[in-house]
Amino acid sequence: MIKVCKFGGTSMADGINMKRVADIIAADKARRFVVVSAPGKRFGGDTKITDLLYRTHTDVKETGHCGEAFQKVCERFCGIVSELGLSLDMQTILDDARREIEEEKSEDFTASRGEYLSARVMAALLGFEFVDARAVVKFGENGNLDGELTFRLTAEALKGKRCAVVSGFYGEDRKGKVKTFSRGGSDVSGAIVARAVGADCYENWTDVSGFLACDPRIVENPENIRMLSYKELRELSYMGANVLHSESIFPVREADIPIRIKNTFRPEDEGTDIVPTAKYRFGGRVVTGIAGKKDFTVIFVEKSMMNSEIGFAHKVLGVLERHGISFEHMPSGIDTMSFVIDSALLKNGVLEIITKEIEQAVNPDVVRVFDDISLIAVVGHGMSRSVGTSARLFDAIARAGVNVRMIDQGSSELNIIVGVDNENYERAIRAVYEEFFTKKTADFGYQA
Ligand code: ADP
Ligand code: ASP
Ligand code: MG
């Protein structure tokens, strides 16, 4: 039995927590391969090591040298090493990191040092070998992970090792330069290692007792989801449930490796099992979870007889493609089509150019833009089994006094996505949670 364990930022925040992590690993011999994040926040208002490193990069860009932010990084790591009483020569390791950061002048390299240093410390604490992700995680020409090469190199590096600590969050590109995943990417690194060693389980240790039915920063004490399918995970994490990076699913999915979310601070809690859809057991809830994200723009296009105009969608999509803009959703009617786009992609006049080009390309009756839209995804295999889910959803949102600006229901009936104004986001989420989780009628709906 092999378990790969990834520990997130809070689990690595200080010496006491790292000691907890060591105890968790010692409690199960199957926990042989460990992937770590950089130390995160120790308390509200604290700064994550990764954020200090992004600031360090700005300092290096502006002055050529690491500044105060890197000094803080050094103090945190020296503090951890002395708290743990390790004989690791941290000062030399930090001096090397400083020199390389100033030489490389690369944002990704600088940010990656958090995970590198954290893995060095953890390896020393556990007495495990350290494996630098740079040697095994490889990105291809297009900037995406080169899965085949990565899995092979990782498997080779770990073969014959009883135990090892691998640094999370980064790898190396074709030119031999360090490249990071997007934020929260150590989850992906953990999934890569799990896949490469053919783990029986990928344990993802964090600061909550599992995947919760809703963001705990919006709804107090939401219900824990005991079991989640890969598909539900993908929908929820993509739509903002950032307890697990939305790309973590890909390496483990092909090998049917289950993911278990566990709480470092309450290891006795059951957590959440994320399993292949074929092994998923329906737990009785109509809705499995709710997630959401703010700050989208909807471009709405209307034209009579749009449906019969061949190539209409192609022309509009061509405009987006020319500007390298991806869209999240495309709800459409007979004579209408909407594009939901991350507002960050439309800054600095891009939105104005795009709407103009759409007008020129298809000569629509109306092009309208809605700004400051939040998307809320209601996800669950149970929705296809019960009648009236949409009615309950919209009723709940309406009762909360919130106007629905957009609706998109995938044909799989696994999710319904609604758009509301940013200012109504939290209110709408609470209303939906109450409808499907806390009301007496919350359970089961009724079976179709
Ligand atoms: P780590 O540093 O361990 O990777 P993250 O901060 O990335 O941890 O993810 C855990 C956090 O995700 C939780 O503390 C919680 O605030 C937040 N979160 C958002 N949505 C959810 C959800 N649906 N279930 C659990 N946690 C969630
Ligand atoms: N340390 C990185 C971040 O803060 C990666 C991670 O924690 O997964 O985003
Ligand atoms: Mg995370």
Q: Is 288 in the pocket of ligand 1 (CB under 6 A)?
A: no
Taking 90 as the threshold, does the pLDDT of residue 407 lie above it? no
**pLDDT single digits (tens) 338-382:** 999 999 999 999 999 999 999 999 999 999 999 999 999 999 998
5 C-alpha to ligand 3 centroid (Å): 13
Q: Is 409 in the pocket of ligand 1 (CB under 6 A)?
A: no
Q: Identify the pLDDT of residue 406.
A: 87
CA-proximal residue: ligand 1, atom 12 (nearest) = 243
Q: For a pocket test of ligand 2, which of 183, 207, 247 has the largest count of ligand atoms closer than 8 A to its C-beta?
A: 183
37 C-alpha to ligand 2 centroid (Å): 6
In b/e form, how buried is each residue of 400-427, taking b as 16+ CB within 10 angstroms? Answer: bebebbbebbeeeebbbbbbbbeebbbe
311 C-alpha to ligand 1 centroid (Å): 43
Going by pLDDT thresholds of 50, 70 and 90, the confidence category of residue 443 is low
Q: Is 114 in the pocket of ligand 1 (CB under 6 A)?
A: no
CA distance 291 to 305: 35
Which residues have C-beta atoms less than 6 Å from ligand 2? Answer: 8-9, 37-38, 48, 50, 114, 168-169, 183-187
Q: For a pocket test of ligand 1, which of 12, 208, 430 has the largest count of ligand atoms closer than 8 A to its C-beta?
A: 208
Query: Average pLDDT, stretch 139-158?
Result: 96
Taking 70 as the threshold, does the pLDDT of residue 195 lie above it? yes
**pLDDT single digits (tens) 255-295:** 999 999 999 999 999 999 999 988 888 778 899 999 999 99
Q: Is 10 in the pocket of ligand 1 (CB under 6 A)?
A: yes
Query: Average pLDDT, stretch 98-117?
Result: 97
Q: Who wins on pLDDT, 329 or 95?
A: 95
Taking 50 as the threshold, does the pLDDT of residue 448 lie above it? no
User: What is the atom index within ligand 1 of the atom nearest the CA of 261?
Assistant: 25
Token pair for 262: 């566990």
CA distance 27 to 265: 14
CA distance 59 to 53: 10
CA distance 111 to 170: 9
Closest by CA position to 388, among listed 417, 407, 405, 413: 413
User: What is the atom index within ligand 1 of the atom nearest the CA of 212?
Assistant: 24
User: What is the atom index within ligand 2 of the atom nearest the CA of 185?
Assistant: 8
7 C-alpha to ligand 3 centroid (Å): 9
Ligand with minimal distance to 245 CA: 3
Closest by CA position to 433, among listed 222, 233, 244: 222
Query: Average pLDDT, stretch 127-155?
Result: 96
Ligand with minimal distance to 9 CA: 1
CA distance 123 to 164: 7
Q: For a pocket test of ligand 2, which of 35, 47, 50 has the largest count of ligand atoms closer than 8 A to its C-beta?
A: 50
Q: Identify the pLDDT of residue 440.
A: 62
CA distance 397 to 406: 13
Q: Which residues pair with 5 in a beta bridge?
A: 34, 203
Q: Identify the pLDDT of residue 444.
A: 52
CA distances 23 to 17, 64, 88, Å, are 10, 41, 20
Taking 50 as the threshold, does the pLDDT of residue 320 lie above it? yes
